[in-house]
Structure 1
Amino acid sequence: MALPDLNSAVGHSFGLEFDGITIKSITEVSGLKMEQDVVELKQNGPDGKYDIKKLPGRPKAGECTLTRGLTGDQSFEKWVKDSQFGKMPDARKGGAIIVFDYEGNALKRYKLTNAWPKSLEIGSLKAGDTSVLTEKLVVTYERLEVE
């Protein structure tokens, strides 16, 4: 029996790709999750015993949070405005979150279907603070696939 390959990849940086545009300055991605309902089938078996079987149900929609340093790039703000003003055909996008290695090669892609921004949060503004100012974009999506 062969031993599993335990070489795991280290995500050096992350990117968001929508409409052929890649934003490579994402510093953190959290909440990426594929989930589905669980359906319980309750029945009596041939021997009369009560059985419960758990079966896969419908897939659930998800949310993830993307964090990046605050820049002059207005793409997050424009995307949020499109959804706030009801321009959902423009706001709903298909795209991917990409994990890059230290050389900039794509290691893995997480494809999002019908994604749109739920919220945008700017980090704390403190006078005299020396930490990096960040913005966090919460994106909701209908489906997540690993490519």
Structure 2
Amino acid sequence: MPNDLINTDPLVSQNFFLEIDGSVVSILSSVSGLDIEMEVVTTEQAGANGKVQVVKTLGKANKAPDISLTRMAPPDMSQDKLWGWFNDIRDKGMKVSDRTGSRKNGSIVMYDSSNAEVARFNFTNGWPSKIATDQLSVESNDPVKETITLIVESLARVK
């Protein structure tokens, strides 16, 4: 009976947060790029009677995505942790010998309508490479949004 297969509600998230090193940095309005992907390597070789054989196998076990985070722009960027992190990297650069200085570990955390955590995506060695501000218009009453591109070296769903 098909109804026996559905014994839990689907994952519905009402709130998204960015955590860096265990503390909340920003509330988010949308997130994309939470792709958990393995790279596939394809090899072609000649088999018996010259017939081409295609073999597909696992390449990189964890292909790292770029994560796109959208949030309401903060009214005071000088007090904002994400802007501070971005500006430090832009102004000072990233030292090749210090992989932990500018790069940080964190999570995209999802909560349901009762504020219970329903999913968590952990990333390693992330850093913001871009902050894009939405188009501005005098004809709109919408809040200004920012889209942050977060470069990560690995991503895993842990909850």
Q: TM-score range by the shorter chain?
A: 0.7 to 0.9
User: What value does the CA root-mean-square deviation take over the aligned residues?
Assistant: 2.3
More helix by share: 2
Alignment correspondent of 2:18: 16
TM-score (norm 2): 0.80
Deviates more, 1:64-73 or 1:3-12: 3-12
The 1:7–1:69 alpha-carbon spacing in structure 2 relative to 1, beyond 3 Å, is: same
| 1:94-116: CA deviation from partner (whole Å, max 9, x where unpaired) | 11101110111110100111110
Gap regions ≥5 residues in structure 1: none
State how 1:2-41 maps to structure 2 within 5 Å: 3=5, 5=7, 7-23=9-25, 25-41=27-43
TM-score (norm 1): 0.86
Find the residue that maps to 2:141 and give its secondary structure.
Answer: coil
Q: 1:50 aligns with which of 32, 43, 52?
A: 52
More strand by share: 1
Gap regions ≥5 residues in structure 2: none
Distance 1:8 1:107 in 2: 10
Find the residue that maps to 1:83 and give its secondary structure.
Answer: helix
Q: Does 1:75 align with 2:86?
A: no
Q: Does 1:141 align with 2:152?
A: yes
Identity fraction in percent: 29
Contact 1:82 1:90 in 2 (8 A): no
Q: Does 1:93 align with 2:104?
A: yes
Find the residue that maps to 1:82 and give its secondary structure.
Answer: helix
